[in-house]
């Protein structure tokens, strides 16, 4: 492996990587990163050793910047402290919007799952339909992620349509069978993300995906349990 390749891998070894000197004041960037909960690391480059000076020379050639600190986010150079802080603060606003929309998306799950418990068994059809829409949506997220890559693997596009196909098939099943199958599909897809896609996703998004997947699965299972007395199986 070449030294340049090693440096690129080091720059991508965490969600945020900060290259700095021994006398660098991070200017609050470290506090911002800790508060954000992001996976980050600091790489100290003291100029007292020939090895560090050579590494710094390679870093300058890679980024075109002759000063420290230098910050990489998602393996991409974004600039110094000011540029990185502005980028992280902007992403924080995007994250808040994603959190709000994600949690609000659980409300239809909760409302339609409560219906059968209140004697409105027909809302289970709505629950199932909403689950199918959201399952398709989370598959589409990965299509979008693949589109944003320079050279996405074909498998990323193939697998991203699986949730929509599963949702379509489940909608053809009797609702008493479809609800638990749909709940299992949410958990199975989240497990698949954990096993095969997780390292490429921001840590905050991983947590959000887990909470929302569990919330959807619980609502689908609750709606199913409420229907059991009407089927004579409980």
d(CA 70, CA 24): 11
CB atoms within 10 A of CB 142: 22
Residue 88: the pLDDT is: 79
pLDDT tens for each residue of 11-67: 888 888 999 888 877 878 888 777 766 778 888 887 778 888 888 888 898 899 888
Per-residue model confidence (pLDDT) at position 232:
54
Report cis status (omega within 30 of 0) of the bond before 69: yes
pLDDT of residue 218: 98
The pTM for the full model equals 0.68
pLDDT, tens only, 120-132: 999 999 999 999 9
Tokens of 164: 């929509």
- Which among 210, 194, 199 is positioned nearest to 14, based on CA atoms? 199
The predicted structure's pLDDT at residue 75: 85
**Whole-number Å distance between alpha carbons of 182 and 53:** 56
Closest Cα partner for 181 from 215, 131, 138? Answer: 131
Intervals of the chain under pLDDT 50: 233-234
Taking residue 29's Cβ as centre, other Cβ atoms within 10 Å add up to 23
Rounded to whole angstroms, the Cα distance separating 62 from 56 reads 10
């Amino acid at each position: 492996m070449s030294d340049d390749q090693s440096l690129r891998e080091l720059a991508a070894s965490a969600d945020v990587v900060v290259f700095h000197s021994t006398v660098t004041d991070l200017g609050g960037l470290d506090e911002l990163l800790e508060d954000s909960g992001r996976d980050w690391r600091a790489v100290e480059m003291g100029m007292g050793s020939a090895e560090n000076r050579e590494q710094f020379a390679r870093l300058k050639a890679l980024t075109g910047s002759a000063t420290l600190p230098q910050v990489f986010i998602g393996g991409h150079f974004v600039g110094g402290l000011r540029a990185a802080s502005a980028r992280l603060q902007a992403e924080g606003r995007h994250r808040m919007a994603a959190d709000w929309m994600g949690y609000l998306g659980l409300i239809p799950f909760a409302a339609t799952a409560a219906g059968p418990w209140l004697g409105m068994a027909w809302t289970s059809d709505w629950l199932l339909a909403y689950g199918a829409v959201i399952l398709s949506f989370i598959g589409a997220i990965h299509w979008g992620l693949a589109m944003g890559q320079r050279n996405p693997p074909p498998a990323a596009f193939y697998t991203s349509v699986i949730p929509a196909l599963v949702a379509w098939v489940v909608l053809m099943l009797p609702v008493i069978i479809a609800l638990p199958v749909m709940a299992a599909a949410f958990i199975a897809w989240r497990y698949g993300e954990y096993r095969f896609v997780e390292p490429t996703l921001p840590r905050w998004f991983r947590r959000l995906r887990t909470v929302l997947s569990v919330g959807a699965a619980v609502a689908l299972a609750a709606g199913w349990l409420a229907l059991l007395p009407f089927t004579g199986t409980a």
